[in-house]
Amino acid sequence: MAANEPSPCVGAGGKPKGKYMEYIVGIAVIAALVGGVLWNHRTKQAAFTGVGFEVPLPPAQVADVVSAVYCQGAKASVRSTFSGVSVRRQGPTEFLFETKLGDTDWIKITAAETGSAVEAETTSLHIGGTLLSDDGSPIWRLSKTLTDLIYKVLGLAPFAARMKRFQNGLERKVGNHIHRQLQS
């Protein structure tokens, strides 16, 4: 290459090629991280707010429906095994929904004018990474510990969206089960 020829790594005006793309990618990554943190905080807040709906059946009957949907049968067992989530009956009209990290959600069924009022509300969410086991190499343990630290500093709850999905699906699943009972 002759002394007066431009380097192939230098663009027009003597500026290095690709420098602007690095800035754009860096800004996009930062924007995605900030968006993810904001989304997690919003989902966490929505899970603590909970959901409520009414069903035109007495509380005992609605509790039996919730038990049939979430606590009994092969479908409930498979769901609990693969999702790391379980629902247990805590009283005649109360249920406890727990994740493997210790997040908890209560389902309470009370009498209402038109039948029953069903409320689901998250009472606790795990803040931090998913430190479920200590197996693996020291590098793996270090990365899990650093992830946990970052989650705690940012206040991230890894299962907040799972809790909100559960709450949102409760009305649909209970309604579908009641509808099938009425048809048969």
- Residue 80: give its domain's CATH number: 3.30.530
- Asked if residues 116 and 55 have their Cβ atoms less than 8 Å apart, the reply is yes
Answer whether residue 5 is part of any domain.
no
Answer whether residue 46 is part of any domain.
yes
Question: Which of helix, strand or coil describes residue 47?
Answer: helix
Q: Which two tokens stand for residue 108?
A: 């309470």
Instruction: Please give the residue range of the domain that contains residue 164.
Output: 16-183
Answer whether residue 6 is part of any domain.
no
Q: CA nearest 102: which of 126, 72, 118?
A: 126
- Measured CA angle at 31 (ends 147, 159), to 5 deg: 40
Number of other residues whose CB lies within 10 A of the CB of residue 79: 15
Q: Packing angle between helix 73-83 and helix 59-70, nearest 10 degrees?
A: 60
Answer whether residue 104 is part of any domain.
yes
Q: Report the alpha-carbon distance of residue 96 to residue 112 in Å, rounded.
A: 21
Answer whether residue 1 is part of any domain.
no
Number of structural domains (the chain) is: 1
The DSSP bridge partners found for residue 106 are: 96, 121
Answer whether residue 174 is part of any domain.
yes
Indicate the pTM of the whole model.
0.74
Per-residue pLDDT of the chain (184 residues; tens, 9 = 90+): 555 665 555 555 556 556 688 889 889 999 999 999 999 999 999 999 999 999 999 999 999 999 988 888 888 888 778 877 888 999 999 999 998 888 899 999 999 998 999 999 999 988 887 665 666 788 888 888 888 888 899 999 888 888 898 888 888 988 898 888 878 7
Answer whether residue 101 is part of any domain.
yes
